[in-house]
Structure 1
Amino acid sequence: MVKKSPLPDLVMPEVAVHEYVLDRMKEYGDDKAMVDYTRKRSMTFREVREQVIKCASALHRRGLRKGEVVAICATNRLEYGVLLLAVSACGGISTTCNPLYQEAEILQQFKLSKPSFAFCEADIYPRIKRITEDLPTLREVFTFGGTSDSISYETLVLRDDGKDYPTSVKIYPKDDLFILPYSSGTTGLPKGVMLSHYNLIYQIIATSATLYQARSSCFYMVVPMFHTFGYSMTIYHLAMGALNVFDSRFDVERVLQAIQEHKVSTFTAVPPMMILMTQTKLLSKYDVSSLKRVPVGAAPTAQSLIDTMEKMYSVSVVPCYGLTEMVPLSMTDPMVRKSMSVGIISPNTVIKVIDPDTGKELGVGEDGEILAKGPQMLKGYLRNPEATARTIDKDGWFHTGDIGHYDDDGNLYIVDRLKELIKYKGFQVAPAELEALLLTHSQIKDVAVIGIPDSSAGELPKAFVVRGNTSLTESAIITFVEGKVSNYKRLRGGVQFMSAIPKSPSGKILRRELRKLPVNTSHI
Structure 2
Amino acid sequence: MKRIVTLERSLPFQTLIMDKRIEEILDYSLLIAQAYLLIRLKISKNSYFKTPFFYFFILTGYLSVIGFILCVRIPIPEDRAWLYKFGYLINVFGVMGSTIGKMYIATHRFAVLRSVHLLENMWSIRLTAGLTGILIFFSCARCISVFFCDYAFVIRDGKKYVVMFDDQCNVADKSQSSVMYSIFIIVSVTLTILSSRQYYKIQRKADVKLDAIDGISTKSILVQQQKKMFIIVSVCTISHLIKAVHQFCWVFAAVFHLSAFNTRLQATVGSNLVHEILIEHVQYVYPHYLATYSASITLVIFFPRIRRLLISRRDVMNRSPAGDDQYSITRTPLYFAAVDLFEMPSTPIAQNKDLLEKWRSTLNNEVLKSPCANIPIPEETLIARILNSLEHHSSKYPGKAAVIEAANEDRSLTYQQVHDRALSFAAFLASRGFRIGDRLTAALPNSIEWPVMHVGTWTAGGAVVGSSAAFKLYETVYQLRDSSSSFVVVSEQLLDTFIEAAKECSTVKTIICVRSSDRPLPDGVIDFEETIKIQPLKELPPVTLDTVCMIYYSSGTTGQPKGIIHTHRTFHCAVEMLRSHWLHEIYPVLGADEVDLYKESQIVNSACYHILGFAQLNWYLITGSPMILVKAFEGKLYLDLVEKYKPRYLIVAPPIFTYLAKDAKGKMASLSSVQMIVCSTAPLSKELSDEFLTSHQNVKYIVQGYGMTEMCFSHLPLLLDVGVNASCGVIVDIDSLPPAKQGQRGEVCVRGAAQTIGYLNKTEATKELIDDDGWIHTGDIGYIDDRGLLYVVDRLKELIKVNYMNQSLQVPPAELEGILISHHRIRDAAIVGIPDASHGELVRAFVVKSDENLTEKEVENLVADKLAEFKRITGGVVFVDAIPRSPAGKILRRVLRKINGA
TM-score tier (shorter): 0.7 to 0.9
1:260–1:288 Cα contact (<8 Å) kept: yes
Q: 1:399 to 1:512 in 2, by over 3 A?
A: farther
Deviations 1:107-162 (A, max 9, x none): 010110011100001121111111222211111000002724321110111x1121
- Kindly indicate which of the two structures has a greater share of residues assigned to strand: 1
C-alpha separation in 2, matches of 1:311 and 1:378:
40
SS at match of 2:511: strand
Please give the residue correspondences for 1:61-460 in structure 2 after superposition, counting only pairs within 5 Å: 61-145=431-515, 147-149=521-523, 150-157=525-532, 159-162=533-536, 164-167=537-540, 169-173=541-545, 175-185=546-556, 188-212=559-583, 213=587, 214-281=597-664, 283-284=666-667, 286-313=669-696, 314-315=698-699, 316-334=701-719, 336=720, 338=722, 341-345=724-728, 351-407=729-785, 410-420=788-798
Q: CA deviation at 1:420?
A: 4.0
Q: 1:358 to 1:267 in 2, by over 3 A?
A: same
Please give the residue correspondences for 1:31-70 in structure 2 after superposition, counting only pairs within 5 Å: 31-40=400-409, 41-70=411-440
1:176–1:197 Cα contact (<8 Å) kept: yes
1:194–1:379 Cα contact (<8 Å) kept: yes
Q: CA deviation at 1:99?
A: 1.1
SS at match of 1:179: strand
Q: CA deviation at 1:268?
A: 1.8
2:665–2:695 Cα contact (<8 Å) kept: no
Q: CA deviation at 1:391?
A: 0.7
Q: CA deviation at 1:514?
A: 3.6
* Percent of aligned pairs with the same amino acid: 23
Which TM-score applies when normalising by structure 1?
Answer: 0.77
Q: 1:517 to 1:226 in 2, by over 3 A?
A: farther
1:223–1:229 Cα contact (<8 Å) kept: yes
Q: Could you say what the CA RMSD is over the residues aligned between the two structures, in angstroms?
A: 3.0
C-alpha separation in 2, matches of 1:196 and 1:515:
42
Q: Counterpart of 1:110 in structure 2: which amino acid?
A: L
C-alpha separation in 2, matches of 1:511 and 1:161:
46
Q: 1:517 to 1:224 in 2, by over 3 A?
A: farther
C-alpha separation in 2, matches of 1:87 and 1:398:
29
SS at match of 1:9: coil
C-alpha separation in 2, matches of 1:185 and 1:58:
34
Q: Counterpart of 2:527 in structure 1: which amino acid?
A: S
Q: Counterpart of 1:147 in structure 2: which amino acid?
A: L
5+ long unaligned stretches in structure 1:
346-350, 422-430, 436-445, 452-458, 468-508
Comparing 258-267 with 9-18, greater Cα deviation is found at 258-267
Q: CA deviation at 1:407?
A: 4.2
C-alpha separation in 2, matches of 1:394 and 1:515:
42
Deviations 1:376-423 (A, max 9, x none): 1110000001111111112221101111123455432222222349xx
C-alpha separation in 1, matches of 2:786 and 2:538:
51
Which one of the candidate residues 365, 372, 391 is aligned to 1:26? 391
1:406–1:413 Cα contact (<8 Å) kept: yes
Q: Counterpart of 1:229 in structure 2: which amino acid?
A: L
Comparing 303-312 with 351-360, greater Cα deviation is found at 303-312
SS at match of 2:489: strand
Q: CA deviation at 1:228?
A: 0.6
Deviations 1:411-457 (A, max 9, x none): 32222222349xxxxxxxxx99xx9xxxxxxxxxx9x9xx9xxxxxx
Q: 1:155 to 1:288 in 2, by over 3 A?
A: same
1:75–1:225 Cα contact (<8 Å) kept: yes
Q: 1:282 to 1:148 in 2, by over 3 A?
A: farther
Q: Counterpart of 2:775 in structure 1: which amino acid?
A: W
SS at match of 2:481: helix
Q: 1:130 to 1:461 in 2, by over 3 A?
A: closer
- Kindly indicate which of the two structures has a greater share of residues assigned to helix: 2
Q: Counterpart of 1:101 in structure 2: which amino acid?
A: F
Deviations 1:484-507 (A, max 9, x none): xxxxxxxxxxxxxxxxxxxxxxxx
Q: Counterpart of 2:530 in structure 1: which amino acid?
A: T
1:24–1:240 Cα contact (<8 Å) kept: yes
Aligned length: 439
SS at match of 1:267: strand
C-alpha separation in 2, matches of 1:70 and 1:109:
11
Q: CA deviation at 1:369?
A: 0.2
2:369–2:727 Cα contact (<8 Å) kept: no
Q: Counterpart of 1:381 in structure 2: which amino acid?
A: Y
SS at match of 2:437: coil
Comparing 182-191 with 353-362, greater Cα deviation is found at 182-191
Which TM-score applies when normalising by structure 2?
Answer: 0.46
Q: CA deviation at 1:247?
A: 1.1
SS at match of 1:287: helix
Q: 1:17 to 1:263 in 2, by over 3 A?
A: same
C-alpha separation in 2, matches of 1:461 and 1:230:
26
Structure number with larger C-alpha Rg: 2
C-alpha separation in 1, matches of 2:792 and 2:404:
34
Q: CA deviation at 1:14?
A: 2.2
Q: Counterpart of 2:521 in structure 1: which amino acid?
A: T
Counterpart in 2 of 1:12? 377
2:748–2:777 Cα contact (<8 Å) kept: yes
Q: 1:355 to 1:8 in 2, by over 3 A?
A: same
Q: 1:124 to 1:165 in 2, by over 3 A?
A: farther
